[in-house]
Amino acid sequence: MQIAVLKERRAGEHRVAASLDTVKKFVAAGCKVVIESGAGHASQFSDAAYTEAGATIAPTAAAAAGSADMVFKIQKPMTAAEGADEVGYLKSGSILIAHLNALTDKPLMQALAKQGVTSFALELMPRISRAQAMDILSSQSNLAGYKAVVDAAATFGRAMPMMMTAAGTIAPARVLVFGAGVAGLQAIATAKRMGAVVYATDVRYATKEQVESLGGRFIVVDEEKMKAAQTAGGYAKEMDDDFKKKQADAVRAEVLKSDIVITTALIPGRPAPKLVTADMVAGMKMGSVIVDLAAEAGGNVEGTVKDQAITTANGVTILGYTNMSSRLGRDASALFSKTS
């Protein structure tokens, strides 16, 4: 079997779909691995390192994918309309494995079917115990939650932990995390390790114990509705307007008191729910920081600008970076390649 790994061409993508370790495993299993030249540079994997691991380097994407039986990518392949016809490079009968946004990109799915390519959308992997080792959403969200706190701390103009000095005491930063999924729980754990006081909210009551086990304080809105707010697959359900109003009222006071707010709420295949209104942002303290991890799906925060850091009129910084895990390219690539 010949496996091809292509260079990621989408803006802001620093990951690669195969690490040195996975290349060695494929070669040991008898596969031929072809890496497009430069595919790993943004993740700190050189062509020479791939060659040493047993891979062959191809000069172009077309050369790498043209005769491949299986193609690995991080992001969905580009079409001719996007500037590089990666779909056209794939031979009929080959297999594509990547994060495809299959629920929202019907034209791409049709183009792949027309090309005769069998596609596996990794984001649709069932979230069950047996499939945990193949769950790219969990591994990448874990890194995203960590990086969100690190970026927030770097932007925040004060210290995170309480500090007692001869000159006086510095109060700890107050962090509020929306959503206690993988990204949110990692954000809670990271902020707590950095010495912040952490609060968290989620529509799923089952996450209360997890939040508290990490040292966070869970905000309860409507206990009965929260207990019924989780799907069989472990995702949060879309909540009704009554719950959304209660949630907004309950967390508004916390938002206004918070120094750092991190939002992580996503609903598969649908726009991200708006959790922090412009009115809430306007009431926050000057110097506060918001990290919107749902920016790619429209954002949880009113005022988020995709892939930009903006500062509001009242001095609140909103970070709307998408693909946060890619900002830790080497580690994110290593985890992605193992799960795929």
Residues forming the active site: 127, 132, 135, 138, 235
- Integer CA distances (angstroms), 146 to 53, 73, 190, 193, in order: 30, 24, 6, 11
Q: What is the DSSP letter of 19?
A: -
Name, in order, each residue with C-beta under 8 angstroms of 273's C-beta and a sequence gap of 6 or more. Answer: 238, 239, 244, 265, 267, 300
Structure tokens at 212: 């508290």
Residue 212 and residue 218 in contact, taking contact as beta carbons nearer than 8 Å: yes
Task: Give burial (CB, 10 Å; 0-12/13-18/19+) of 175.
Answer: buried
Reduced to 3 states, what is the DSSP secondary structure of residue 199? Answer: strand
Task: Give burial (CB, 10 Å; 0-12/13-18/19+) of 143.
Answer: buried
**Among all chains, which residue has been given the structure tokens 């959403």?**
137
Residue 66 and residue 94 in contact, taking contact as beta carbons nearer than 8 Å: no
Residue 93 and residue 70 in contact, taking contact as beta carbons nearer than 8 Å: no
